[in-house]
Amino acid sequence: MFNKILISFIAFAATALMSGCSTLADARSAKGTGPAREYAASVDQVWKAMPAVLAELSLPLVGENKAEGYILAQRGITAFSYGENVAIFVESVNGITRTRVEVVSKKSMATNVFAPDWSNEILDKLGEKLKKI
């Protein structure tokens, strides 16, 4: 009887852990679903500021493609989270004077209730950095 309960629990736990996982590709393909802000700055200024923004938030930059207009960041497992996948989309609004930035933040596991949503933190920190330029 105990073995059946233990096996059932292990099967349930394994199913829960493997369901609802996200990857950086999932975050990147979710363009258009995250919060966005416009800044009075060029794409180059935003692009140059983003590594410092991510570093201050302790969110490692793992990839970027300026030609396609995205930056990828990812945080692994911590004491409070199983990790997060973040895609940041940077695009010019009207030439060189305004830039739109969208942040899509996905939990690595859907069942992770403690994972932070990085969207507003990144957008706020970027606004602070761009005011100093």
Separation between Cα atoms, residue 94 and residue 92, nearest integer Å: 6
Separation between Cα atoms, residue 88 and residue 31, nearest integer Å: 9
Q: What is the pLDDT of residue 94?
A: 82
Separation between Cα atoms, residue 121 and residue 125, nearest integer Å: 6
Each of the 133 residues of the chain gets a pLDDT tens digit; together they read: 667 776 665 655 554 444 457 787 788 888 999 999 999 999 999 999 999 999 999 999 999 999 999 999 998 766 666 688 999 999 999 877 899 999 999 887 666 666 688 999 999 999 999 998 7
Q: What kind of fold does domain 20-131 have according to CATH?
A: TATA-Binding Protein (3.30.310)
Q: What is the pLDDT of residue 28?
A: 87
Q: Is the Cβ–Cβ distance between 88 and 50 less than 8 Å?
A: yes
Q: Is the Cβ–Cβ distance between 50 and 102 less than 8 Å?
A: no
Separation between Cα atoms, residue 35 and residue 46, nearest integer Å: 16
Q: Please indicate, yes or no, whether the overall pTM of this predicted structure exceeds 0.85.
A: no
Q: What is the pLDDT of residue 107?
A: 82
Q: What is the pLDDT of residue 21?
A: 73
Residue 98 has which token pair? 């305004």
Q: Provide the residue ranges of all domains of the chain, joining segments of one domain with +.
A: 20-131
Separation between Cα atoms, residue 56 and residue 22, nearest integer Å: 24
